[in-house]
Structure 1
Amino acid sequence: MHNSSDALADIDPASAGFDVDRDGFVSYKNSLLFLPPKERGAFRLLLNAWPKVVSKEDFSKNVWTGRMSDESLARCITQLRRALSNLGVVEIDAFYGQGYRLTILSDKVRRLSPAPAAVHSRKSDAAKPHAALVEACIHARQLLERRSLDAFSQAESILKNVISKAPDYMVAKLLLAQYVADRAFFDGNIQRSQIDDALGELRSVQDAEPYLQGLQSQIGYLLDCKWHFDDAKGAHEQALQMSPDDDVAYYRYGFHLLTSNAPSEAVSALRSAVQLNPFSPNMAVGLVRAYACANMDPADVLVHARSAYSAHPDSPSAYVNLLYTLAWVDPQPEIAHAARHFVQKNRYAHALSSRAVAYVLARCGDHAGALEIIEKHSSTHGIHLAALVAMGMLDEAMEKVNAAAETGFGVLPFSISVPECDALKQHPDYPRVHAKVFSKMPGK
């Protein structure tokens, strides 16, 4: 906890560069802070009350409209601290039984060198995005986190609409690039040209706002989707250097490392992501997959999968990941039944559920059910390789691998790196395909 009286006495939030506009959005040195509604409301209270303590009752009344739990407030403050950590000029102190207080680190404010004009230049009111467009982007980002086909479609529509109304709003362009990368990675229903177009858009974003958080990480993510792993590595490392507390940057770097056959390093990166954001089920699931790829004892991987689901009991991805891990460790008919039940009850389930459910059914003996899913959700990107391998259909799986390799982009590098597909490495065609897919690895 920071208790410097000088930090409190020397400078107030406005003098430090914080401003709350008429719509309730917070800016720092004229750059809008991209905060979700609850975090934004909590930060507003802390700014307005400075240097006083904001009580739990005030948070409950003004942010939660009277429906707040201590756990939800603590989670909100944790996420707010993480979101503000990159600024390096504020801390949020907890006072047991009372509430929270904002601390301005005046020595850090004084030491800040002026940022490039492209980052903090004052924009006219006309150039600022309307509050409704900012809210729309926040909603789109939440939709992308769901990773269902329906959510992807909604997010794309929202983001294109925002960009048409505010073409200079770089956050919307960044999120649209994320949409393209997510589709390329999770269900392959995207064209290579769309990845190239998204990278082109990010170059324009970089020209306008080179220090926009998430920009370098997103560039690395798209380059991974194109299998340009050498360039991607540099982008990921730059992202972490610029924003060392960015959980998403660690998450994307973790998957880059998994694809790059560095599972131990991937575990470390994904563990950092989970520590920075313990409320994300997707990050928890990513860490479980990293443990499996790093040759952890399957029984221990299952412990982590159960823990991830216990921490996120309402998350479809955490539940499907648990079924997947159960099937991998100890296939039983009951697991296949649970997977079928999940599909029936979740029309717009996680985009990964097709490959996961197909694998569960294949592994647990329901080959007909697995083949039905594979046929219904066919893809040229080899998303069902694990299911085919589980059924002993190695030649058919390698046909999918060859077809996916010809596309030159997509999820194939990750798919052939998971332990469920180890048997493919014995196929005579595997060395050639591996060399083709990983030709742009660092050092090659």
Structure 2
Amino acid sequence: MQPWHRNISGIAPASIGLMVDQYGFVAYKNSVLDLPPKERGALSLLLQAWPKSVSKKDFALHVWNGRMSNESLARCMAQLRRVLSHIGMIKIDSLYGLGYRLSIQPGDVDASTQFPADRGQQSGTVKVHPSVAAACFYAQQVLQNHSPTAYDRAESIINHVISQAPDYIPAQLVLAQCKANRAISGTPGSPQAIDEALKILASIERAEPGASGLHSQKAYLLDGKWRFNEARLMHEQALLLAPESPATHFNHGLHLLATGAAADAVTAFRSAIELNPFSPEQSIMHARALAAAGASASDIVGHAREAYRIHPDSQQVYLYLLGMLAFADPQPELAHAARHITLSRSSWIYAAGTISYVLAQCGDREGALELIAAQATASVNIRVTHLAALIALDLVDDAVLRVKEAAHVGYGNLPILLSFVENAALKQRSEYSAILAHIFSSQSPSNT
């Protein structure tokens, strides 16, 4: 008898605590599962259809909006099975000619098995409606787009959540992250936002010192203010307290990259990816660390292509691939591709900087200068994203002036930008060691 003709278990997913809400968010034992949109949509369909199967046509229609390949569906199911392996009783069966079906196999694992939910969901004693937890998780996902629009949207969502549940610690952590991301990236917002975020974390620490995600978030904020010694100790605590959290390893990787430990950063980012293979940002930074650690040009392009293969819908990953192709082998068609990318407030914060670099590197000097000029009045932490373009245009003196200005501001992503292979020419300048010394002199708490 063929395996898809077996009698399936009569155990309903809801009976073990696996449910989907009206917004399509999936929860296990009242904790919203940390799944990206495609995987979340596919699992929602499987749950809603149980005990029946879901056809490839239905997946294409309801999850991929009609633009699905067999490979993308198979990859989605493979990733879902990996995540659901934490609950041994949940299976996704592939039914030849029919599609996929969810089944519950009794006796594999005790129903008390804990599923890894999103960061912070296990912290806090406040019990909230699942829709509140789902909104909090959704705000976290919006933040990962790293655009001005995303920051505005996430902060609006999380402020509404906090108005409904003011003592809900995961929401407060997301609010701190909103403020920090806005300030560190240089998008419009108060330069004091990092301090405001640190105050939020301090209040959380007083209320619940062991809150999930607290130490890693605080370490990230300290890194943003270039207080690297304090951040290092906080990262070490976070890794001890939450070794299974991808965010903990990712934030530690950013710290290592910023402080010049590129090889160690590779290991940290790899750990983050193993725990959560769905994040485009993690893939990019893993590739960035490999490049900073001395990978060859061909390897750099290979890693960029692999990231794009895994995340073909990510603007961040596509732009990173264009940038690395331009770095390794500048060609006019790369500039042509870059010119066709439309920029808006919804674009990745590094989009303009990456496009200006591709244009400059591939011979479109006028187009690169036009993009650089368009952000001439932006904050310095935005303007330094054009360093690679200025270097490619032989305007290294202008690039050094921007670096000095950003170093004087005293916070932001400059230390990480200086690790990028496109900016390596700056290391040959006589002022470079003094700039680094200034960045790494910001070690005292008095610099808040």
Could you say whether these structures have the same fold, taking a TM-score greater than 0.5 normalized by the shorter chain as the test? yes
TM-score normalised to structure 2 length: 0.77
Whether the 8 Å contact between 2:26 and 2:40 is mirrored in structure 1 is: no
1:300 pairs with 2:299: yes
Q: 1:120: Cα distance to partner?
A: 6.9
Kindly report which structure 2 residues correspond to 1:97-176, keeping only aligned pairs within 5 A, or say none. Answer: 101=104, 103-104=108-109, 121=125, 123=126, 128-176=127-175
Whether the 8 Å contact between 2:184 and 2:411 is mirrored in structure 1 is: no
Whether the 8 Å contact between 1:187 and 1:352 is mirrored in structure 2 is: no
Whether the 8 Å contact between 1:119 and 1:210 is mirrored in structure 2 is: no
Matched residues in 2 for 1:282 and 1:56: separation? Answer: 36
Offset from partner CA, 1:32-75 (integer Å, 9 cap, x none): 556559769969x99xxxxxxx9773688xx9899686654443
Q: What residue identity is the alignment partner of 2:197? A: A
Assess, with a 3 A threshold, how the Cα gap between structure 1 residues 393 and 22 changes in structure 2: closer, same or farther.
Answer: closer
Aligned to 1:256: 255
1:57 pairs with 2:52: yes
Choose 293-302 or 376-385, whichever is displaced more: 376-385
Whether the 8 Å contact between 1:39 and 1:77 is mirrored in structure 2 is: no
Q: 1:287: Cα distance to partner?
A: 1.2
Q: 1:397: Cα distance to partner?
A: 1.1
Q: Give the SS at the match of 2:411.
A: coil
Kindly report which structure 2 residues correspond to 1:276-315, keeping only aligned pairs within 5 A, or say none. Answer: 276-315=275-314
Matched residues in 2 for 1:211 and 1:310: separation? Answer: 38
Assess, with a 3 A threshold, how the Cα gap between structure 1 residues 305 and 71 changes in structure 2: closer, same or farther.
Answer: closer
Assess, with a 3 A threshold, how the Cα gap between structure 1 residues 20 and 393 changes in structure 2: closer, same or farther.
Answer: closer
Aligned to 1:367: 365
Matched residues in 2 for 1:200 and 1:214: separation? Answer: 15
Whether the 8 Å contact between 2:229 and 2:443 is mirrored in structure 1 is: yes
Aligned to 2:80: 76
Q: How many residues align?
A: 399
Whether the 8 Å contact between 2:291 and 2:300 is mirrored in structure 1 is: yes
TM-score normalised to structure 1 length: 0.78
Q: Give the SS at the match of 1:384.
A: helix
Aligned to 1:183: 182
Aligned to 2:380: 380
Q: 1:129: Cα distance to partner?
A: 3.0
Matched residues in 1 for 2:50 and 2:349: separation? Answer: 41
Assess, with a 3 A threshold, how the Cα gap between structure 1 residues 101 and 203 changes in structure 2: closer, same or farther.
Answer: farther
Matched residues in 2 for 1:67 and 1:425: separation? Answer: 50
Matched residues in 1 for 2:424 and 2:270: separation? Answer: 24
Whether the 8 Å contact between 1:26 and 1:40 is mirrored in structure 2 is: no
Aligned to 2:231: 232
Whether the 8 Å contact between 1:187 and 1:383 is mirrored in structure 2 is: no
Aligned to 1:8: none
Matched residues in 2 for 1:153 and 1:120: separation? Answer: 25
Q: 1:301: Cα distance to partner?
A: 0.8
Match of 1:352 among 316, 328, 350: 350
Matched residues in 2 for 1:335 and 1:184: separation? Answer: 32
Q: What residue identity is the alignment partner of 1:158? A: I
Whether the 8 Å contact between 1:293 and 1:419 is mirrored in structure 2 is: yes
Aligned to 1:49: none
Matched residues in 2 for 1:33 and 1:198: separation? Answer: 24
Q: 1:264: Cα distance to partner?
A: 0.5
Whether the 8 Å contact between 1:336 and 1:364 is mirrored in structure 2 is: yes
Matched residues in 2 for 1:198 and 1:253: separation? Answer: 18
Matched residues in 1 for 2:306 and 2:223: separation? Answer: 29
Aligned to 1:271: 270
Q: Which 5+ residue runs of structure 1 have no aligned equivalent?
A: 1-12, 47-53, 110-117
Matched residues in 1 for 2:351 and 2:284: separation? Answer: 13
